[in-house]
A and B are shown apart, each in its own frame.
Chain A
Amino acid sequence: MRALVALAYLIIFAPVLMVAVTSFFAQEIISFPPPALTLHWYANAWDKPEFLRGLVTSFQIALIAAAIGVPIGTAAALAIVRGEFKGRGALSTFLLAPLAVPGVVAGSGLYMLYVLAEDFFDRDIKATVQGLVAAHILLAIPWTVRLVVASLQGLDRAAEEAAANLGASPFTVFRRITLPMMRSGIVAATMFSFIQSFENLDLSLLLVGPGRTTLPVAMLNYLQFRIDPTLSAVATVQILLVGVLMATTDRFVKLSRVV
């Protein structure tokens, strides 16, 4: 029993650990045991334009997509939980649908839409930040709806009603009572939207272009030729970034509870 549990976690963590370990190997061709350890590959990765630009592009897209998608998703979540109109269940299913559509499929659809729209409007859409951000908003909306709806559902409305009875305007009730109650959901939604966008490969695959590539696509292209410590260093940076984001978020919201 214990051995089987260990096996499962070994399979889960082995590749992540392997990436981190090999990023310090001195030799350019990865082989065990390493002759010496070095930090050289991190500097080397920094000097490679495809990785640096990929990092900047991914960061930019993830940030803008979360900044647009999280407020829009939060508004929708609020209406779904607190609204009193018909079809709210169907609406929530509809807004969660982007999670169920395979990334490569959604990406192909957007690719065709973008190319046809480029002809129509006579301007670039594919391989632009705007085009990628639009696609990645599709990740932010369902994650936000799911997490904010979950954070709102358990709460009762007594505090809001009390505030309203004591003369607070609807806006004050929202700002002083409802918004703070949604805080944990919104914080978690922002983190998930950012990370899901940052690490996304499938959806972006057909929407990138020469000179405008996200970090995961840049890594994939590089890996199709070789695996070396430089790539491991880039991947380790991504692992660290995700780890730091999760740890920071966990200080505000208990992640094991919200997800």
Chain B
Amino acid sequence: MALLVVPACLLVLALLVGPMVLMFRISLEQFSPTELMIATVSPDNYVRAATDPYYQEVILSTLGVALLCTALTLVIAYPAAYWLARLQSGWKSLVVIATMFPLLVGNVVRAAGWMALFDRGGLVNQTLLAIGVIREPLALMYTPKAVVLGIIAVVLPYMILTISAVIESIPRDLEDAASNLGASAMRTFWRVILPLSAPGVAAGSILVFVLCMNTYATAVLLGGPRFKMMAPAVFDQFVRGNNWPMGATLAFMLLAVTMTFTVLGSVVFARRYRVR
């Protein structure tokens, strides 16, 4: 029986663990424009990533965007999650599938949709022009705002599904009891629903934060070439700079942050709250 896991384990070892070890090793080497890299063992690249203003800006803007998007996503997702959890019609499974559907369509397609909306001739500008709110088309594309909205759209389904799974496990009786005892709807929310759904909020936020940190397509397409986040910066190091050691360093930092939060998420919260 145990032999059945061997092929899967070998593949994950060869295609994931191996490359990650190789990546860590290369992150300790030294970049050379003429011969790819010079064999050495030094933390220089990590020091540079932490002190060089360019990399500092990339790291800080990635963290900033990820935090902002996570907070906004939580606020926007919560009412929808509650609604979905308490939905009692035959449509429920359809709504769950519909919420999942955009996740499976892919980020590039959704970024394209935002581009059609935000372009100079796009729906938003044309509508505002037509009703006379603005005279000149607004530059909506290639702004941090466009990236933030684009990322929120990508991660919203994860947050909704995670939180609603937890709210579903809160018995309705508790809400009824609170309101029978005279609590207002607001008070019931703050004192009963929100505390009991805290594991879902935390698990969803951690998952979403990690996804935001790793954004590629949305940042490149809606942010334009000057907007820098970690994942596009990693790509640039390999493709444009051909700088393997620095690319490996940035990638490894991204991996470390992602793994820390993912492990945190699964250690702190019970297994049943873990997300799809």
Interface residues of A (CB under 8 A from B): 1, 4-5, 7-9, 11-19, 22, 29-33, 72-73, 75-76, 78-80, 82-85, 91, 94-95, 97-98, 100-106, 108-113, 116, 134-135, 137-138, 141, 145-146, 195-196, 199-202, 205-206, 216, 219-220, 223-224, 227, 231-232, 235, 238-239, 242-243, 246, 250, 254-257, 259
Contacts and interface: CB of A to CB of B under 8 A. Distances in A.
Contacts, number: 267
Contacts of A29: 121
A80 B5 contact: yes
A95 B123 CA distance: 45
Given A105-B234, A113-B19, A216-B106, A95 B12 contact: yes
Residue of B110, B121, B254 with highest tally of chain A CB at under 10 A = B110
B113 A15 contact: yes
Given A5-B80, A30-B116, A232-B112, A13 B15 contact: no
A195 B104 contact: yes
Residue of A5, A220, A243 with highest tally of chain B CB at under 10 A = A5
Given A7-B76, A105-B234, A113-B22, A72 B8 contact: yes
16 contacts: A5-B79, A11-B156, A16-B101, A16-B109, A30-B122, A82-B1, A91-B5, A97-B16, A102-B231, A102-B255, A138-B15, A196-B104, A205-B235, A219-B109, A220-B220, A255-B97
Nearest to A92: B5
Nearest to B106: A199
A15 B114 contact: yes
A202 B214 contact: yes
Nearest to B159: A8
Q: Is the interface of B mostly helix, strand, loop or mixed?
A: helix
Contacts of A246: 97, 101, 104
Given A82-B1, A102-B231, A138-B15, A11 B152 contact: yes
A250 B100 CA distance: 13
Given A91-B9, A242-B101, A259-B276, A100 B217 contact: no
B7 A108 contact: no
A153 to B, nearest CB: 12
Interface string B87-110: 000001110110111101111111
